[in-house]
Structure 1
């Protein structure tokens, strides 16, 4: 009797598990949570491939030459500074000693004109590519007469005979020709002074210091404007930018690159800067437009945050879009399981938890196909191939489960609409939240309309 009663209880439990809506919903919920594990693994795979892409691009850029930032030319004027130091001897007698120190003044140009022609090209390694370029840069302008009175330093302490011109550049490796500056007709070569300058000037946000020989007194801006001129040939990658140190800085950048973006604190002022054949951008920046003066005492601050220029980076966003797609993975899995749950509940067709698991793994395969195909093609093509493949696979598999074509066709159309909805959200930026909210509202409304026919008494 006890065995018969135990068997009866077991049969009731099995019958409840098979037919109870609550048990079915609980099972689907557990399977959904389990599928978060492979979905998380796919997200980690995308991050790993993205980091690999960044490391390869960095390696290519490092060999060719990094992004170029230019700051100069700047007049470096040494002066004597004195301070008193008290010394106590063995007899505790205090004496005062005057110590002489060598410090520097830095003066920016009155006028700074920059004209650059940039020739970008694409470098590839395996699946990855980046933008490098060759640039021809002409820098000209003039230094106005130095006003020592404004510095409150005695003119007798100024060492005019040791004045030099300094030039900061971020990419020494990319310099193709000897750097020199012509001042009032005289030419001065630059040499790297990286190891000999004071710590604040050794490296400012990647800027290396170049220094000229001593400037002749006739070429110094003592009581008249002194013109200067420089010609640079520099290789770089990704970006080129300039720091507007002139009291008036005028710059013109030309290139046949079509997918550029202008970066930095200042944008070009000309309207038709981008054309079908490239771009021709012009800047005019005054000293009142930037928050730093025309001269500094003792050291130069980091001025790279005020640079302006052009970015030539290739808009590689396949990994970003794939990562955004995986964030909607739980939505796709949940809505697909909900669709099969409604069909199972309304049609009374049994669906085994293993079959739900196979459907969920098929949905996960969409993301692995997406990331692998997008590395060899565009994101749109990869999305179409992966989406169509998974939709066909799940539709055909559901035919074997549901035994008729009506439901598989409905499932295929629903998945097509769902993947299309996710793709639209991924492409949108400003309206992604609005579109997603409206779409989810309509999906919820449809589910509420369909679920009203379910007999919830069968719990």
Structure 2
């Protein structure tokens, strides 16, 4: 028995060295083991990304949040009447008593034109930054003479002398100027009135309201023309609710990556997007939306009809790093496959520990990428991390493989692989297509190279 065990150990050791199956199992096991540090690296990237988002939210909260404008809306008080019967003990009869109630009608403009000029910039805090903007908005248009007879409201019941104009916004704190309504030839200053706490609203809106209007401006046979200029500090997006019977909006900005959001898209024929910014204009007709121009008792929730522009970062540094880390398994597997093919074809022995060192060097690429990208742009970080790892593995493989051609081949292969992954990360619409074609070509190359291997040997 003492002579059998050493012989069995030697046979097992020789099998590990000479068997292709054993080497494949060993390489596969190491790839699975290296998924553990890869998962930790992905968790680190997500943690840094969440930290960045917290900082961005803090910056945006202090600078100004997203901008949603709802208005201007003409608010008209009117009287309604109800009768109650009161029993009179003296006369033993019922007396009728008429009570007067005050309600409100909300009238939307016949025409609403909005011109928006946006200047974006970057605010930094530590290693993190947030894209914010300053916007100047001009709202203009007109109201037609009001007729509420269709709502069973008589003209004499409207309290014209207590009419006002309402403007709602999601970014009260970001307003940078005194908001003034120019109605015909008179000016009215908006004041904060109350908060709209309607639970049905997706976005909490603050209300600005003028004082009482000169009734000659709204109770006549002529249109009432208005203009409002308002400036915001904001972030994320700008939206407008199309309450005009005809609503036009023109937007111009130096932001190069706009995302047009909401129920209505800008005119494709006049839309311009370049590296220097964009121009876009919208036109929404009353036939395009499902609400009327007159509403009673309360301002309706119309946030679902809002449209505008989201000022988005297409792929930020952490998202790029996270997407890059998702290809970590592919990089390790393909690199091990190259070493496995070299080992099998050239009969050079590579120890499992050497495979492990190569795999750990590959995982270090992602920690270098994340840490350097926090202090530089993604391209520089990718070049530094990639070059460092490729040189390290190439020099290390020189000591393993003892020749120059195989390390050079490995270095070139890793360079091509990291370049391929970088191209995929930069692509948005064609990432899947390019990735699929690239993997198909890699598979074809592996099949071609491995055709000379005698798979029956072990």
TM-score range, shorter chain: 0.7 to 0.9
Match of 2:270 in 1: 271
Q: Residue 392 and residue 99 in structure 1: after superposition, are their counterparts in 2 closer, same or farther (change >3 A)?
A: farther
Distance 1:445 1:277 in 2: 42
Output the aligned Cα RMSD.
3.0
Equivalent runs, 1:100-139 vs 2, <5 Å: 102-139=102-139
Where in structure 1 are there 5+ consecutive unaligned residues? 87-95
Q: How many pairs were matched up?
A: 448
Q: Residue 61 and residue 13 in structure 1: after superposition, are their counterparts in 2 closer, same or farther (change >3 A)?
A: same
Distance 1:395 1:275 in 2: 42
Match of 1:52 in 2: 51
SS in 1 for 2:175: coil
Where in structure 2 are there 5+ consecutive unaligned residues? 86-95
Q: Residue 79 and residue 376 in structure 1: after superposition, are their counterparts in 2 closer, same or farther (change >3 A)?
A: same
Contact 2:271 2:281 in 1 (8 A): no
SS in 1 for 2:411: helix
Match of 1:90 in 2: none
1:207 matched to 2:205? The reply is yes
Match of 2:295 in 1: 296
Match of 2:91 in 1: none
TM-score after normalising by structure 2: 0.88
Q: Residue 34 and residue 152 in structure 1: after superposition, are their counterparts in 2 closer, same or farther (change >3 A)?
A: farther
Please report how far the alpha carbon of residue 437 of structure 1 lies from its aligned counterpart in structure 2 after TM superposition: 2.3
Match of 2:354 in 1: 355
TM-score after normalising by structure 1: 0.88
Distance 1:449 1:84 in 2: 95
Q: Residue 222 and residue 292 in structure 1: after superposition, are their counterparts in 2 closer, same or farther (change >3 A)?
A: same
Contact 1:269 1:283 in 2 (8 A): no
Please report how far the alpha carbon of residue 8 of structure 1 lies from its aligned counterpart in structure 2 after TM superposition: 1.9
Q: Residue 13 and residue 128 in structure 1: after superposition, are their counterparts in 2 closer, same or farther (change >3 A)?
A: same
After superposition, the C-alpha distances for 1:350-391 in whole angstroms (9 at most, x for unaligned) are: 111111111101111111122222223332222222222111
Contact 1:50 1:319 in 2 (8 A): yes
Distance 1:424 1:73 in 2: 48
Q: Residue 363 and residue 185 in structure 1: after superposition, are their counterparts in 2 closer, same or farther (change >3 A)?
A: same
Q: Residue 423 and residue 211 in structure 1: after superposition, are their counterparts in 2 closer, same or farther (change >3 A)?
A: same
Match of 1:369 in 2: 368
Please report how far the alpha carbon of residue 161 of structure 1 lies from its aligned counterpart in structure 2 after TM superposition: 4.0
Distance 1:306 1:146 in 2: 24
1:226 matched to 2:224? The reply is yes
SS in 2 for 1:194: strand
Q: Residue 333 and residue 163 in structure 1: after superposition, are their counterparts in 2 closer, same or farther (change >3 A)?
A: same
1:444 matched to 2:453? The reply is no
Match of 1:89 in 2: none
Contact 1:270 1:282 in 2 (8 A): no
1:391 matched to 2:372? The reply is no
